[in-house]
Structure 1
Amino acid sequence: MALLDVKNVKKIYTTRFGKNQVEALKNVTFSVEEGEYVAIMGESGSGKTTLLNILAALDKPTQGKVYLKGSDLGGLREKEISAFRRENLGFVFQDFNLLDTFSLKDNIFLPLVLSGKKYQEMERRLATIAEKLGITMLLEKYPYEVSGGQKQRAAIARALITKPQLILADEPSGALDSKAADSLMHLFHTINMDGQTIVMVTHSVKAASSASRVLFIKDGEVFHQLYRGNMTNEEMYHKISATLTVLTTGGEIH
C-alpha cells in the first residue's frame, strides 16, 4: 500500500462576498510510496501550494480524499489535526520558521515538547540528527547568529526529530545562495537514502533534479510525471527543463 494516496482531489475557493469561484485543483490523483522522494513543479498559480496545504492537513479538499498510511486526512476532527501533524508529518519551509528567542536546540525540541516527550529522549534523538546534519556545534546559538544554510539545517532537524512518516518541504532552497542550496539538496538526498519519504514543492530545476520523481502541475491538474530511473542529476536537469518548456509553451513531451 502506498504511504500517501491522493484521489480525485478538487479544491474550489469562493472569492470575497461569494461572487466568484476559483478552481485551484481540478482532479489530482497520485500516490507516493514509502521511501520515495517526489518533487512537485509548476508555474505560479498552478495549484502547487494549495496541494501542499491539503497534504499537510492545513486545508481540506472540496472533493476527493487524501490518505496517509490509510488514514483519511479529511476525516480528522479539528482537535485531532495538530497532534496528527506532529506525529506523522515533518515540515521544512522556505523562510525556516524558527523562533528568534529560542536557541537552535530549543527550536528543534519544540515539536517534542508539545508531544510531552522526556528531556533525555529529546537529547538522545537530537545527538544523532545534529551530527548527521553537521550542526552539533551550533545548537546553543540563536537563529540570528547563524547563516541561512545553517538555519535550514536546524529546520530539517526539527522536521526529522519527530520521526515523521512524511516530510513536506515548501521551496526549501528558495532563500539560500547556490552553495547552501546545493548542500541542502545533497542533505535531502542523504536523508532519503536513509529511508525518509519526502514530498517537495519547488521552482528550482536544480533542486528537483535530486528527486526520484517529478510531478508537474498545470491548471490544477497533474500534467506529467518524470521518473528518474537510471538518469544522473544532470540528465534529470535537462529532462525537467524540457518538460517545463512544454508546460509553458505547449507542444508535446518526448
Structure 2
Amino acid sequence: MSILEVKNVKKIYTTRFGGNQVEALRNVNFSVEPREYVAIMGESGSGKTTLLNILAALDKPTEGKVYLKGNDLSKIKEKEMAAFRRQNLGFVFQDFNLLDTFSIQDNIFLPLVLSGKKYEEMQKRILPVAQKLGIQEILQKFPYEVSGGQKQRAAVARALITKPQLILADEPTGALDSKASDELLNLFTTINQDGQTILMVTHSVKAASTANRVLFIKDGEVFHQLYRGNLTNEQMYQRISDTLTVLIAGGEELE
C-alpha cells in the first residue's frame, strides 16, 4: 500500500484584487511507496510550494484527493488535524524553525510535548536519534550557539523523533553551506536506507540527485519523472540537469 497517494489534485486561487483566478496546480497524480526517497523539482511558480502545503494538510485542494496511509485528508476534522500531522508527518524546513529560547533538546522534544508524551518516553527516544545524527554534544546548547548544519540536524531530529510515516522536507539545504549541505544529504540517504520515507522539494540539482526518484513540475502539472535505477549520484545529477534544460526551454523531447 502506498504511503501517499495524490489523485487529480487541482488548486485554484482567487486573487484579492480583481477576483482573477490563478490555477496553481492541475491534474496532479502520483504516489509514494514506503521507504522511497522522492524529490520534487520545478521552476519558481511551478506549484511546488502549493503542492507541499496540500500534502502537509496546511491547505486544501480545489479538486482531487490526497491520501496518507489510506486516510483521506479532506475527511479529517479541523480540530483533529494538528494531532494527525504530529503523528504521521515530520517536517524539515529551509530556515530550521527552531525556537531560540529553547535548548536544542527541548526543540527536538516539542512535538512529543504537544502529543502529551511523558518525559521518560522522550528521553528514551532522543538518545538513538541524537547518536544517529551526531548531535549528542549540543543537546543542552541553544540554537544561536550552534552552526547552521547543526541546527538543520536538530530539525531533522525533531522530525524523526515522532517516528513519522513520511518526512516532508522543504528546501532543506537552502540555508546551508556546501559542506553542511553534503552532510545533510548523506544523512537523508542514511535515514532513508534505515526505512524512513522522504519527500523533498528542492531547487538544488545536487540535493535531488541523492533521491531515488525525481518528479518535475511545470505549469502546475507533473511534467516528467526520473528513476535512479543503478545510476550513481553523478549520473543522476547529469540526467536531472538535462531534464531541467528541456523543461526550461519548454520542449517535449523527454522520454
Would you call these one fold, judging by a TM-score over 0.5?
yes
CA distance in 2, matches of 1:184, 1:73: 30
CA distance in 1, matches of 2:44, 2:119: 42
Q: Give structure 1 regions of 4+ aligned residues with deviation exceeding 4 angstroms.
A: none
CA distance in 2, matches of 1:18, 1:159: 40
* One-letter amino acid matched to 2:120: Q
1:207 is aligned to 207
2:151 is aligned to 151
1:237 is aligned to 237
Deviations 1:67-126 (A, max 9, x none): 001000111111011000000000000000000000000000000000000101100100
1:139 is aligned to 139
After TM superposition, list the pairs within 5 Å mapping 1:69-80 onto structure 2.
69-80=69-80
- Give the C-alpha shift of residue 18 in structure 1: 5.5
CA distance in 2, matches of 1:224, 1:110: 38
CA distance in 1, matches of 2:44, 2:250: 16
CA distance in 1, matches of 2:6, 2:42: 18
1:175 is aligned to 175
CA distance in 2, matches of 1:135, 1:194: 18
2:30 is aligned to 30
Report percent identity of matched pairs: 80
Deviations 1:30-81 (A, max 9, x none): 0000000000000000000000000000000000000001000111111011
- Give the C-alpha shift of residue 147 in structure 1: 0.3
CA distance in 1, matches of 2:79, 2:18: 28
CA distance in 2, matches of 1:48, 1:131: 33
2:254 is aligned to 253
* One-letter amino acid matched to 1:142: F
2:56 is aligned to 56
- Give the C-alpha shift of residue 250 in structure 1: 2.5
* One-letter amino acid matched to 1:84: F
CA distance in 2, matches of 1:116, 1:161: 14
Q: How many residues align?
A: 254
CA distance in 1, matches of 2:74, 2:41: 24
* One-letter amino acid matched to 1:103: S
* One-letter amino acid matched to 1:237: Y
Q: 2:47 matched to 1:44? A: no
CA distance in 2, matches of 1:175, 1:28: 29
CA distance in 1, matches of 2:46, 2:89: 24
* One-letter amino acid matched to 2:254: I
Q: Please give the TM-score of this superposition, normalised by the length of structure 1.
A: 0.99
- Give the C-alpha shift of residue 253 in structure 1: 1.9
CA distance in 2, matches of 1:96, 1:28: 28
1:120 is aligned to 120
Secondary structure of the equivalent of 1:245? helix
CA distance in 1, matches of 2:26, 2:68: 21
Q: 2:221 matched to 1:221? A: yes
- Give the C-alpha shift of residue 17 in structure 1: 4.1
List alignment gaps of at least 5 residues for structure 2.
none
Q: 2:11 matched to 1:11? A: yes
Taking structure 1 as reference, are residues 18 and 34 closer, same or farther at Cα in structure 2, changes over 3 Å only?
farther
CA distance in 2, matches of 1:116, 1:250: 50
After TM superposition, list the pairs within 5 Å mapping 1:80-99 onto structure 2.
80-99=80-99
Secondary structure of the equivalent of 1:16? coil
